[in-house]
Chains A and B, each alone.
Chain A
Amino acid sequence: MAEKVLMKGNEALAEAAIMAGCKYYFGYPITPQTEVAAYMAKRMPKIGGTFLQAESEVAAINMVLGVAACGKRVMTSSSSPGISLKSEGISYLAGCELPALIVNVQRGGPGLGGIQPSQSDYFQALKGGGHGDYKLIVLAPASIQEMVDLTFKGFDLADKYRMPAMILADGTMGQMMEPVSLELGEVKEYAKPWATTGKATHEGRNIINSLSLSPAQLEEWNINRYERYKIVERDEVMYEEFMMDDAETCVVAFGITSRVAKNAIMEARKRGMKVGMIRPITLWPFPKDALKKAASKVKNFLTVELNMGQMVDDVKLAIDCSKPVYFYGRTGGVIMTPDEVLNKLNEIEKGEAKQW
């Protein structure tokens, strides 16, 4: 195995993108994701790629759309307020059926918010930050190794299903350093006969467009796209189970929160409480079946998030509200301690907690 190196999440993610064959990056600086752009600025010229600091986030996402239409791997990154600005372009990418990778290193919101970590853009990523009927593949790394692995995977999935993918990270994942292996394997190439690469390279005209003035045609496009989404939901779900074998309470958490929860679960186990965790790695497709299966065994669920309660709705839907679901969250950039999660677990055990 290759020697592990100590890297910051933002830089490791940027290097992984380059290793995945991404030669085009368009962005605009914003804390806590700026190191992605800084790293790309340094590396792209050396590999014959393009780094461009756009005049705004809106410009950057539309540059992404242009390169994606040419069939090349392309990426942009930002943090929460910047992703709001990019949302129109993300909807257009989805409408044009174009693969691209968008990285959100989340910070507290709404509005300009703060610069500390948050997971409050779950709804934005999952329920459509932009308009129209569309989905994003949403990947939630919980370590620097996953920042790397999921970036590599994100480009692959985007190409495979011809749709935009998003890395939904947070400030801690961007700023933290951990040992990481950059041995990522072969990049899989996908044929892109639809790409606008000029008449010399393909028959007839290739047109990339999201506009249709015929309702019947637009409906057909949407239905066809949702047929593809079904395949993604069937084949691409990723999650981790932690101490679920005999668990009576199932914690559901993603990203940094899952790591805080893990400490709380270890402590709870020491006290004889039977707690486990399901950690979604893909937020869309959401691990519905795993949760449903867990619901037949556990007594209750506790969703832990860095927001006012967002993923918790999807947990309730996944299990058809068949078991009590509780929620614990901190927001605005505050991160809960393992003790706070443990307290909530105690309240649930004593029957003192209020259901979501």
Chain B
Amino acid sequence: MAKTTKILIAGFGGQGVLFTGKALAYTGLKVGMEVSWLPSYGPEMRGGTANCSVTLSDTPIGSPIVDKPDVLIAMNLPSLEKFYNETEKDGYVIFDSSLIVKNDVRDDVVTVGIPATKLASDNGLDGLANMIILGKVIKETNVLTLEQVKNSLAQMVPAKKAELLEKNVKAIELGYNY
């Protein structure tokens, strides 16, 4: 049975939306999946809305545009509001509960909040809320394993920036074990 996971990551520009997607796509490639990564691009570098479609599949990918995600990663309230009801039945919605309050949840999707921004600042990992959420996504959805993502991050981060890798891995593990 063909398995395709459509992931939509959405937030403000500067929150690491595109990099989170890249980590997923690159890991997918390394473990032999078909992958696509598509940003919705705006003219501004920071502050605008950013979202990123990632598809991981064991068969060739049709449209790379994710309009109904199996997994929604929402990093701010407008993103959650925009895409929550578009999420596929039996899908997953992971959001940053330090920035978003969500009371009315659907009973046909798994909705998980993690205070990623707060966890990041409490643990000296400012700016890495995205990686904390990524850890949680991996734990909840099993779309990739923790080992696989850690291995591919080691290849994505250049050797001379080893301290960055260490922090990213720490953030992912923090989210995974939360």
Contact B37 A176 (CB under 8 A): yes
Q: Are B64 and A259 in contact (CB under 8 A)?
A: yes
Question: Are A260 and B62 interface neighbours, CB within 8 A?
Answer: yes
Contact residue among A31, A177, A178, A263 (Cβ-Cβ distance under 8 Å from B63)? A263
State whether B63 touches A259 (Cβ < 8 A): yes
Looking at B38-46, B74-82, B92-100, B167-175, the stretch in contact with chain A turns out to be B38-46
A266 touches B62 (CB 8 A): yes
Complex CA gap A171/B64 in Å reads 13
Measured in the bound complex, the distance between the Cα atoms of B61 and A262 in whole Å is: 9
Contacting pair B41 A178 (CB below 8 A):
no
Q: Which residues of A contact B64 (CB under 8 A)?
A: 172, 176, 178, 256, 259
Q: B156 — nearest CB in chain A belongs to which residue?
A: A6
Q: Is the CB of A115 within 8 A of B63?
A: no
Contact A31-B37, Cβ < 8 Å, known A260-B62, A262-B63, A263-B63: no
Complex partner residue of A177 from B22, B43, B62, B67, CB under 8 angstroms: B22
Residues in A whose Cβ lies below 8 Å from that of B63: 256, 259-260, 262-263, 338
A178 to B29, CA, bound (A): 9
**A321 vs B140: C-alpha distance when bound (angstroms):** 54
A32–B35 Cα distance when bound, in Å, is 21
Does residue B26 face the partner (Cβ distance < 8 Å to A)?
yes
Enumerate B12-59 residues with CB–CB distance to A below 8 Å: 22, 25-26, 29, 34-39, 41-43
- Is the C-beta of B154 less than 8 angstroms from some C-beta in chain A? no
Question: Smallest Cβ distance from A178 to chain B, in angstroms?
Answer: 5
Q: Give the A interface residue count (CB, 8 A).
A: 21
Contact with B along A167-188 (1 / 0, CB 8 A): 0000110011111000000000
Are B36 and A178 touching (Cβ within 8 A)? yes
Complex contact B65–A172 (CB within 8 A): yes
Interface string of B128-172 (1 = CB under 8 A from A): 000000000000000000000000000000000000000000000
Q: Using Cβ atoms and an 8 Å threshold, which residues of chain B touch A177?
A: 22, 25, 36-38
CA distance in complex: A335, B36 (Å): 17
Q: Nearest Cβ in chain B — how far from A325, in angstroms?
A: 23
Measured between beta carbons, the chain A residues less than 8 angstroms from B29 are 4, 6, 179
Q: Which residues on B sit within 8 Å (CB–CB) of A4?
A: 29
Q: Across the interface, do A32 and B41 meet the contact criterion of CB distance under 8 Å?
A: yes
Bound complex: CA of A256 vs CA of B62, how far in Å?
9
Q: Report the Cα distance A178→B25, complex, angstroms.
A: 8
Residues A178 and B39 in contact, CB atoms below 8 Å apart: no
Complex contacts, B41 vs chain A, CB 8 Å: 31-32, 115, 171, 175
A179 and B35 within 8 A (CB): yes
**Interface check A337, CB cutoff 8 A:** yes
The answer for the CA separation of A266 and B63 in the assembled complex, in Å, is 11
Using Cβ atoms and an 8 Å threshold, which residues of chain B touch A31? Answer: 41, 43
Residues of chain B lying within 8 A (CB to CB) of residue A171 = 41
Distance in angstroms from B22 CB to nearest chain A CB is 7
How close is B49's CB to chain A, nearest CB, in angstroms? 13
Residue in B39, B62, B65 whose CB lies within 8 Å of A335: B65
Closest to B65 in A: A335
Q: Which residue of B lies closest to A174 (CB)?
A: B41
B67:A337 contact, CB within 8 angstroms: yes
Please give the residue numbers on chain A whose beta carbons come within 8 Å of chain B beta carbons, in ascending order: 4, 6, 31-32, 115, 171-172, 175-179, 256, 259-260, 262-263, 266, 335, 337-338
Q: A177-B36, A266-B62 are in contact. List 5 more A-B contacts (CB 8 A).
A: A6-B37, A177-B37, A177-B38, A260-B63, A335-B65
Q: What is the interface of chain B, defined by CB distance below 8 A to chain A?
A: 22, 25-26, 29, 34-39, 41-43, 61-65, 67
The 8 tightest CB contacts between A and B, nearest first, are A177-B37, A262-B62, A263-B62, A260-B63, A176-B38, A259-B63, A263-B63, A337-B67
